[in-house]
Amino acid sequence: MNKTIQEIAAMVGGSVVGDETTVIAHIRPIDEAGENDLTFIAGEKYFKMLKTIRAAAILVPPGLTDPEKNLIVVADPYVAFAKLLSVFYPVDHGPTGISPDAHIEEGARVSPEATVMPGVFIGRGAIIEKGAVIYPGVFVGHGARIGEDSILYANVSVYHGCIVGKRVILHSGVVIGADGFGFAAPGAGNDKIPQVGIVQIDNDVELGANTCVDRATLGRTWIQRNVKIDNLVQIAHNVVIGENTAIAAQTGISGSTTIGRSVLIGGQVGIVGHISIGDGVRIGAASNIHRDIPAGAVGGGSPFLPYKEWLIVESSKTKLPEIRTQLKKLIRQVERLEIKIGKTGDHQT
């Protein structure tokens, strides 16, 4: 794909400094970009590289200048870069249509404008809306719904009754709507509690490979608009995740917990059930959350601590061997002093 710098600037709401007629054919990293390539500078640590970049054009933030370079000035170069990647390198899902090798039960409604590939199973009463792309090996249970322009990659399972909104991306191995982990008399009878609710996934959500979202015991497990979830994340029954939240890999969220809007959760975080995490919270990787966290809090650790306290605790861990040695030395000194005082007291007596 070839675009002039002027055309590219118009796409991302930027302004051009330099030759706006220069043609761009590719987007490449800073250290690889050359003639006919576009690259970007997003962080201050890369500003010093501006002079040595050989790209035909560079996305830069306001205030960064070089009279010898073609620059596209944008508010956020990384956001502009992401938008342009989808323009220059669109994903080809193949031709629209329903494969004769897909199994579609009677009563299912599949738009002729959807793409349904071989080996797909779509149950009775399910709805597949226009523009949806369903890859081989996908299972869509009875009464489930897949919204417009959503993409379900290979071997995704959407159980019965679950709702997937518009422009949702489910990567390979995602399971939507398996039973929640609900048992009466746990550790004794382990009597299964039927899980009769659903999962609802709102528009523009993306779930990474092998992530699982359990159906609700009653009601719904709800992933709200524009939530982004990494690979290998477990979302338990009746969890609610607020819009624009982002969750990194290997995080586990226990049942009936509510996550607010625009929350950022690092990798390998464990969150207990029946708690609330407020809007805008930031949780560091490998933290364990056992209680409610108020809106706007930033921190991490096990248990969760505010940011400054967490840093003190983490930095202290590396000093524990030294502290242990010093403590043992002090204990010996105190013991010797106690013995000396004891002998002096006996002598005086």
Query: Of the residues 26, 171, 237, 290, which is catalytic?
Result: 237
What H or E segment, with its residue span, contains residue 308? Answer: helix 307-317
- DSSP bridge partners of 265: 247, 283
What H or E segment, with its residue span, contains residue 8? Answer: helix 5-12
Active site residue 237: yes
CB atoms inside a 10 Å sphere around CB 294: 12
Structure tokens at 138: 């996908």
- DSSP bridge partners of 121: 103, 139
Contact indicator for 257, 283 with CB cutoff of 8 Å: no
On the 0-12 / 13-18 / 19+ scale of CB atoms within 10 A, 326 is exposed
Angle between the 307-317 and 320-348 helix axes, to the nearest 10 degrees? 80
Contact indicator for 60, 72 with CB cutoff of 8 Å: yes
Through-space distance between the first and last CA atoms of the chain, rounded to whole angstroms: 100
Q: Which positions are catalytic?
A: 237
